[in-house]
Structure 1
């Protein structure tokens, strides 16, 4: 990388934010339910526009929540110590202490949802008064530059906006490179001439402390989430439901009609002078009320299922128009949602709610595609968390943890299985394959890292008591044997 001034880097990063803002804002609009309007006639009235608003069926949050709710880091296993010392347990390791100090048990979900929605999110690791802590950053306010964006884990510079300009108050941002943190101000993201770089300070790490969490990265360095590819299908769903609502409103009911009868007209009362009056006592005549074009205004007819229509003129004809079918539109909605499920790798019953009469094998087959996608996300996000842990260790001065490239995060098993099924499967693994029983404890559904370590401590205590009892039993048995032998010898 060529030597570049902090001011030039700040301008370049703000230009990246300005370039990506329309795309990210469009994604954010779809996540929040602000979708493109369905097609409607140019002269659409207020009723059409109301139906268009009601046609929005926002599936995007579900496409994010389904994999995000299966992503939960539950522990960290450090790599083998190079000094030969035993590894620290997950809950006492410096990496997990940093995790708990940063309150990432609750905050990790926002990082995953941001990455799944926009394609990427970020985590900043920094020194605070409470120690080294990490926090999530939004993709809409953060940009990073990489020498090789497809393969590099660490950016050579990154910037996050902390305050947007308001009135005369300029916007503020923090920029990080491999050694320093810079204070950046600007009047507008689009006004690069107003960018100023202020004081700098050491951030305590040997590389940029901002880590990217990408849901998917191609060899061009582009990131994509689960929302952007689904926008055309979401628009198709909205259009189909809009057509369904229009058909339901205008053609799904039987329409009665009458021919050969003039409609009743709205009348206005006239007094003796021929002026319009509202006092029926003064009225001596009446005439039809006229609209702005001079045409008579028909009177409103209050007609419902309890009223009868009749006419004295034999030429008057009554009839009805049958309701139009809407079943094809309902089938079209169902088909579009199935396409959405297939392309997004979301099980159809998560979207349609149809789980009746499904066997366990059918449910497993439906969940397979989602499980593969979640496994891919765990691999990508797991590597990012490991970099966060190494940077935090370096800031804490822990050289061993900083150089631990063999450690790995542990993901909680979020699959729905009964405890009886899991116990039966784990028992067979231990008995038939000879896997150590302690090695299977972490696979018990719902077990936490603290519970696991409590089990290990109780098992060690039980082993110690058992070994002591065995030793006492052996000592007592040996003493009895020796005494018996001595007695026999004396008798002889």
Structure 2
């Protein structure tokens, strides 16, 4: 039978961090531009190494930021019977928890962590009497699952708060279904130095750590957008390095002269030729530049030139590699190349289709995780929404459409299909949930005014004209 004691769980969780450390560190290095050096000669000098550093062209942040910037939770719709189908109430306990945790700004870090490393985590806990949710770094956090491919609730989770340093043990926090533990450890691979001390009940009926995974396969493995792109990034860096070498050493014509020897150094006292250690005469430096020319009195001297190396092939190779990067990452080429001229609206929409599908997949995965966070927060706050499995987060529409085009399309939907106007409000480009609620209140006020005016009109008798007065008998 497996050992499920706190110390044994801590050992397993620390071992996961140790197992993934090299892989995640390599991903982190590529995100921040610390790439492998391109191939260069074994005896490369400092000038070559300088060109190698300048050859790094880091595309990785763009692959992460492009989908992350389209992920923005803007509201939450409860799924309980009382509020089913209703618009988001910004005064609801779920949204109050969201605002109290400042997740409007902090949600982006969670998405970028998950897209970069394959997964990220959040912790929902009570702090100073308030229930808050914060993000946890995947470089410091690990979780155990009974079924990592299908479970959204960890069996246990651990997050390192301080790494071992200067002989002092590292510290971590660990959670299971009921308790939080204080963990100390000497090293990630040292199972003998792990100690786990029970702290307190965390107040939830399950582990309060939630995983945000960019992609999970049936083996429970998570993968982000960077790891699979490292070979392509290396190819681009190598091509740019070759371009810089050719540009530095072979991009100009080389002038040649045959049959002519340069002047040599002579001893100023004796006039004899000065030789180096190998017995060769030491030539005098020649001051030759674009404003000077060479001539020779000897008729056997011949001048010539060597053609420069064309750079167009290197540039075409870089362009091709970036297009491969675009296709595999499902990022439109114009996002990477900056080439958007002469694209019709239909062509631009077609280019964005793959990215839109990818973003929709991320919204589905991350939305389920946020819904679990809301349920955890509701349980800690004692709300009845702790069992609300029908609720859903609302994502802001980040597609760039002109207001005139949207208004025309929404007007046609209203007139031709009879869709209620309120049902189309959230289709307005860049509208926020706060604006939707304000519009709803204004519409209710306008309806009230219209109803009052109609009632007053019906209650007011029509004026009687002189022609309508009956004649006296």
TM-score by length of 1: 0.92
Equivalent position of 2:430 in the other structure: 446
Q: 1:333 aligns with which of 318, 326, 350?
A: 318
5+ long unaligned stretches in structure 2: none
5 Å-filtered alignment, 1:40-51, equals: 40-51=40-51
Equivalent position of 1:370 in the other structure: 355
Equivalent position of 1:249 in the other structure: 248
Q: How many pairs are equivalent?
A: 472
Cα distance in 2 between the residues matched to 1:335 and 1:124: 43
Verify: 1:178 aligned to 2:177, yes or no. Answer: yes
Cα distance in 2 between the residues matched to 1:57 and 1:3: 48
SS at match of 1:91: coil
Equivalent position of 1:259 in the other structure: 258
**Aligned CA distance change for structure 1 residues 201 and 215 (closer, same or farther; 3 Å):** same
Give CA deviations for 1:68-98 in whole Å, capped at 9, x if unaligned. Answer: 11111111111132x6899684311111111
In terms of mean alpha carbon deviation, does 185-194 or 213-222 score higher? 185-194
1:480 Cα shift?
6.0
Equivalent position of 1:272 in the other structure: none
SS at match of 1:37: coil
In terms of mean alpha carbon deviation, does 285-294 or 31-40 score higher? 285-294
5+ long unaligned stretches in structure 1: 270-283
Equivalent position of 2:406 in the other structure: 422
Equivalent position of 2:448 in the other structure: 464
**Aligned CA distance change for structure 1 residues 267 and 14 (closer, same or farther; 3 Å):** farther
5 Å-filtered alignment, 1:33-432, equals: 33-81=33-81, 89-129=88-128, 131-269=130-268, 284-398=269-383, 400-432=384-416
SS at match of 2:90: helix
Q: CA RMSD of the aligned region, Å?
A: 2.1
Kindly name which structure, 1 or 2, has the bigger radius of gyration based on alpha carbons.
Answer: 1
* Contact 2:78 2:84 (C-alpha < 8 Å) held by counterparts: no
* Contact 1:217 1:223 (C-alpha < 8 Å) held by counterparts: yes
1:294 Cα shift?
3.9
Give CA deviations for 1:35-85 in whole Å, capped at 9, x if unaligned. Answer: 11111111112221111111111000000011011111111111132x689
* Contact 1:90 1:449 (C-alpha < 8 Å) held by counterparts: no
Give CA deviations for 1:79-120 in whole Å, capped at 9, x if unaligned. Answer: 132x68996843111111110000001001100000000001
**Aligned CA distance change for structure 1 residues 85 and 155 (closer, same or farther; 3 Å):** closer
Give CA deviations for 1:383-402 in whole Å, capped at 9, x if unaligned. Answer: 0000000000000010x211
Equivalent position of 1:273 in the other structure: none
**Aligned CA distance change for structure 1 residues 84 and 225 (closer, same or farther; 3 Å):** closer
* Contact 1:80 1:86 (C-alpha < 8 Å) held by counterparts: no
Cα distance in 1 between the residues matched to 2:444 and 2:386: 31
**Aligned CA distance change for structure 1 residues 491 and 383 (closer, same or farther; 3 Å):** farther
TM-score by length of 2: 0.96
Cα distance in 2 between the residues matched to 1:371 and 1:175: 37
Verify: 1:7 aligned to 2:13, yes or no. Answer: no
